[in-house]
Amino acid sequence: MTLIGLQCFFIPAFASGPVRKRIFTENFMNYFVDLHKEELKHSQTQDEPIKSTSKGYPDHGSGVHSMKLSYRDWFDFNNAVRVHMNLIEQLPLIMVLLVLAGLKSPFVTLICAIVYFLLRIVFAVGYFKFAPSYRIYATLPMLLLKILLLVYSFQTVHAVCQYGSQK
C-alpha cells in the first residue's frame, strides 16, 4: 500500500512536472503578466500585487494558460495530468479493497498489491509516452484485480458479520 501511495507522490515528478516545465516557460508565462496584474491587483492580506506563478499554476489543462497552448502541447500536458489524476481517483478504492481483503487473505492481497503497483506503471507509461489508447494494456488487468480484491473484501465482511452474530 505504501508503494501505491508513493506512486501518487512521484508520478507528477516524472509525468506532469517535466511537461509543465517544458511548456510553461518563462517566455510563455510573460504573455500573462499584464493580465495577471490587471485582474489580481491586490490580495486581501497585503498591499502588494499578487505575483504571477511560474510553470502555469494553477492551470491543469483547461485554464487560461492552456488556452494559449498549441494543440500538441495541450494534448501532451493533459495526458500527463490525467495520468496523475487517474491515480488519485483510483487511490481510495484500491486502498479500501486492499485493507479489507488483507484482513482475510494477506498473502493474496500482497501479491495483488504488487501487481497493481506494476500495472499502474504500465498504465502511466502507456498513457503518457504513447497515447491514451495504450492504457488498455493495464486497465483490463487492473479491473480484474479490483474484482478479485472485491470478492476477498466481501469474504472479509461476511466473516466479520458471522463472527459478530455468534456472540
Let me know if residue 105 belongs to a domain. Answer: yes
Residue range of the domain that includes 134: 2-22+70-165
Average pLDDT, the chain: 86
Name the packing angle between helices 136-165 and 106-125 (round to 10°): 160
Task: Please state the domain count of the chain.
Answer: 1
Q: What confidence score (pLDDT) does residue 57 get?
A: 81
Q: What is the pLDDT of residues 104-129, one digit of tens each?
A: 999 999 999 999 999 999 999 888 88
- Can you tell me whether residue 47 is helix, strand or coil? coil
pLDDT at residue 43, as a whole number: 53
Could you tell me if residue 37 is inside a domain? no
- Per DSSP, the three-state class of 43 is coil
For residue 110, is it within any domain? yes
In-domain check, residue 31 = no
Cell representation of residue 47:
498591499
Residue 60 lies inside a defined structural domain of this protein: no
CA 98 vs. chain centroid, Å, equals 18
Assess if residue 80 is contained within a domain: yes
Residue 152: CATH number of its domain: 1.20.120.550
Tell me if the pTM is above 0.85.
no
CA 72, 75, 79, 81 dihedral sign is: positive
Does any domain span residue 91? yes
Chain segment 50-100, per-residue pLDDT in tens: 566 678 888 888 888 889 999 999 999 999 899 999 999 999 999 999 999
Residue 53 falls inside a structural domain? no
